[in-house]
Structure 1
Amino acid sequence: MASIKQREDGVWRARYRDEVGKEHARHFALRRDAQRWLDEVAAAVVTGQYVDPKAGRITWDEWTREWMERQSWAMGTHEAAAVAVQSVPWREGQISSVKSSHVQAWVAGESKRGLAASTIKTRLNYIQMSFRAAVADRVIATNPALGVKAPRSRRAEAAMRILTAEEVREALDAADEFRGFVEVCVFAGLRLGEAAGLQLRDVNFLGRSITVARQVQGSTIKAARIVAPKYESERTVYVPDELMTSLAAHVTRAQVTAPDEQLFVTPLGRLWNRNNAAGEWRRVRKDARLPDEVTLHTLRHTFASNLIAQGCDVVTVQRALGHSTPSITLNVYSHLWPSAEDKTRSATASFMGEIRDSADSVRTETEKPQVRGSRYR
């Protein structure tokens, strides 16, 4: 129900009731402006884009707080989302006042601050998710983050750092009591949290395998806690005798005896977490004279690189790394597999080698000197 009436002062009052019976009204100097407003409202209702004008008055902080409380996320995901939504400059403003240009300007600002393109992309993803949820709940009519793009990331082959055998050796020599932690990252491909979550029962010394059944989440000693691994990351990694021997020596040295006892703890007996493990790695990196770009996650890349170099297929690598799908593995490591050109060249070279060897063999047989009969009969 909608109507337009002129008041005694000459102002035109347009009003309508929404689907729940709530009345909305605006005043205009001209009747045609009042009619245009009502037509826009009617069009929004017909197209399903209508929202209560007052709904968008909620601030960004208020909306994202409500939105995040409804999500069934792991703690790490919740922390990442919180960092993202709190990094924008419109936190105290009404969500309906945010424009696409504001979001794009924020992206540009994050890039100028020196944030990695991948980090900006992750944060933008959470911003876009929050706006999409606001549209779905009819808090706002349109998503201002739609179409906003993050800076382009460097190509994987240029950005990914793989350690050489000598660099790994230097890191292990510098690790001291942190050596076991480093070894399960570089020789079993465990993530930081997965290595921190390992317990004695997870290591099958006779079967030469490590089971990833839990991980440590949290960036501080107070926040750190043991939780289930990332989605579909539970797995068994098959490792060589040398790693088992090294871990057995660590268990003896650290006097780890109970099955549910943590395999690796800090010198003060606390859980390793994102901050203190990264801090310890920085010490190792400095002592080993490795560049700053080498992180603990570089060890996992090095593990994957070695599997691929040894001829492992994508599914084998996927399972060893705990990726949910082979496509994730390919997205990250496709550049490490031999290209079609490499395979064609190698296959043809092998074929040519066989032909050459065969020809040489025939030629040798043909050119053998004939043994003449003796002149003495």
Structure 2
Amino acid sequence: MAGYIEDRWYKKGPPRPDDESRRPTRVETDLHGKCKRYRVCGIPGVRKRSFDRKADAEAWKAKVQADLMRGEFVDHRDGNITLAEYVSAEYWPTKTGDPGTLQTIETRINKRILPYLGEQRLNSIKVPQLRKYLADLDERYQPATIIESWGTLSSILQAAVDDEKIPRNPCLAKTVRPPSKPERKARAWSRERVMAVRAGLDDRFKVMVDLGVGAGLRQGEVLGLSVDDIEQDLIYVRRQVRIVRNRLVYSLPKGGKTRTVPLPKHLAERIADHISQFPPVEAELPWTNPAPPENDKQAAERAPQTHLLLVTGEQGRGALRRSVFNEGPWKRALVAAGVIPPPAPRKPLPSRPDGSRSRPNTKHAAAPDDGFHALRHTFASVQLDARESIVSVSKWLGHSDPSITLKIYAHMMPEADGRGRSAMDAWFAGVS
């Protein structure tokens, strides 16, 4: 195979006059003693590389030739840029996908990857560096957050492998792994708790509880539900309201799939009562991405849509921002229902110039297991307790596969062990 080793310190000179064999002499070059002596040259598509020892040059040449034959050659010098430089110049500019998901990934990179590994050269990120990275994260974050960050880092380094910057992805090494995610079983609420939380909400928001527990809708899907999506005994889940770049947008439900959900008579009556008390309001929002379009295709994809929303903001104007609802009306309802303790009041703020005192702020306790999603879990538990088909429940919840539903809610299926014991008793009873 093509390739040779060049001696950069010496070159051929004229033969000595007294040498009858006329062999060329060896003459020092201008580079003698100023650089590495041996340089591998002449391999198509491979940059030249210099070594101090000829044996090292020969070994590298042989390895490169073998890697080229297998189609696996990577020049390690291409990875001599920092992780931050690679992400900003090559990885992130080519990243595409859902704007909300991209925002989440970007935040994860900027807050939990680059501050720890950003100044490291790509080709210097090895298993020892990754062990320290995981140890640093473990001091600050929960396992679920570490797992997400690890997955994103692995995707970046795998892209560097595909871009032929590094030969392999060190995140795939067997001796370094993120922590295991602790098992958290979905928990349904009792009917008493659901009713207590509903009673603690402003009348305007009570229907949100009804839709969550009565139809299994996600919070964003409730906020994006239009009166036009309700027909006879069905609810058409066609969109959600979400936040992208701190702006409200419409988008398809999670997973990009629309679906239909049965509308029970009792839920239909509560929706009708809500509409009579709080008439639906038109809300215009961008579709999927709030950024200004840069071409006709983006303009068509992001064109604003107007829908007659069932649930609106506290003043009855426009779409409701979920963060405002979750930290305000929802937390207050949890306090009223005794789910979380009332917030401890902060010290009063100083008096204003007119002698009045500004109202002290309060901060509610965190309630990670008692968010709006608990209503969805309750819907699933009621359906499974009624022995509804797991396939049907999966379809109504909008899961991509019934196995996902089974994984999340298997512990809610009633009398699974009892039916199993009965089946085995019947089997043994037939044995002579």
Normalising by structure 1, we get a TM-score of 0.81
Structure 1: distance between partners of 2:335 and 2:118 = 39
Distance change (3 Å), C-alpha of 1:97 and 1:163: same
2:289 matches 1:265? no
Equivalents in 2 of 1:109, 1:343: separation in Å? 48
Distance 2:43 2:259 in 1: 54
Contact in 1 for aligned 2:117/2:133 (Cα 8 Å): no
* Deviation, structure 1 residue 286: 2.5
1:254 and 2:278 matched: yes
> What is aligned with 2:182?
154
How far residue 318 of structure 1 moved from its aligned partner, in angstroms, is 0.8
Q: Percent identity?
A: 28
Residue aligning to 1:55 = 78
Alignment partners' CA distance in 1, 2:133 and 2:187: 29
**Pair 1:119-2:145 in alignment:** yes
User: Matched residues in 2 for 1:16 and 1:208: separation?
Assistant: 76
Number of the residue aligned with 2:297: none
Measured on the aligned residues, the alpha-carbon RMSD in Å equals 2.8
Q: Out of 131, 142, 145, which is 2:171 matched to?
A: 145
Question: What is residue 391 of structure 2 aligned with on the other side?
Answer: 315
Amino acid paired to 1:277: F
In structure 2, the partner of 1:27 is 51
2:64: which partner in 1? 41
1:97 positional shift? 2.3
8 Å contact from structure 1 (residues 12, 34) kept in 2: no
| Partners of 1:4 and 1:34 within 8 A in 2 | no
Structure 1, 187-196 or 5-14: larger mean CA deviation:
5-14
* Number of aligned residue pairs: 343
Structure 2 SS opposite 1:333 = helix
Following the alignment from structure 1 to structure 2, what is the Cα–Cα distance between the partners of residues 85 and 320?
A: 34
Partner of 1:372: none
Q: Hey, what's the Cα distance between the residues in 1 that align with 2:327 and 2:233?
A: 30
The one-letter code of the counterpart of 1:275 is S
Q: Read off the aligned partner of 2:308 and give its amino acid letter.
A: E
Residues 281, 309 of structure 2: 8 Å contact kept: no
Question: Residue type matched to 2:180 in 1?
Answer: R
Q: How does 1:172-211 map to 2 (within 5 A)?
A: 172-176=198-202, 177-204=204-231, 207-211=232-236
Tell me: CA distance 1:92–1:168, structure 2 relative to 1, closer, same or farther (3 Å).
same
Judged with a 3 Å threshold, the aligned counterparts in structure 2 of structure 1 residues 169 and 63 are, in CA distance, closer, same or farther, namely same
1:314 Cα offset (Å): 1.6
Runs of at least 5 residues in structure 1 that lack an aligned partner in the other structure = 352-377
Shift in Å, 1:348:
7.6
Say if 1:217 and 1:225, in contact at 8 Å, map to a contact too.
Answer: yes
Question: Can you list the C-alpha shifts for 1:100-152, whole angstroms capped at 9, x where unaligned?
Answer: 3333433343333242x333323322222222222112122110111443322
What letter matches 1:167 in structure 2?
A: R
Q: CA deviation at 1:49?
A: 3.0
The amino acid across from 1:85 in the alignment is I
Whole-Å separation in 1 of the counterparts to 2:258 and 2:37: 66
Partner of 1:354: none
- Within 1, Cα distance between the matches of 2:183 and 2:162? 35
Tell whether 2:420 aligns with 1:344: yes
Go from structure 1 to structure 2 and tell me whether the alpha carbon gap of 1:350 and 1:3 turns closer, same or farther (over 3 Å shift): closer
Q: For residues 69 and 342 of structure 1, what CA distance do their matches in structure 2 show? A: 56
Paired residue type of 1:45: L
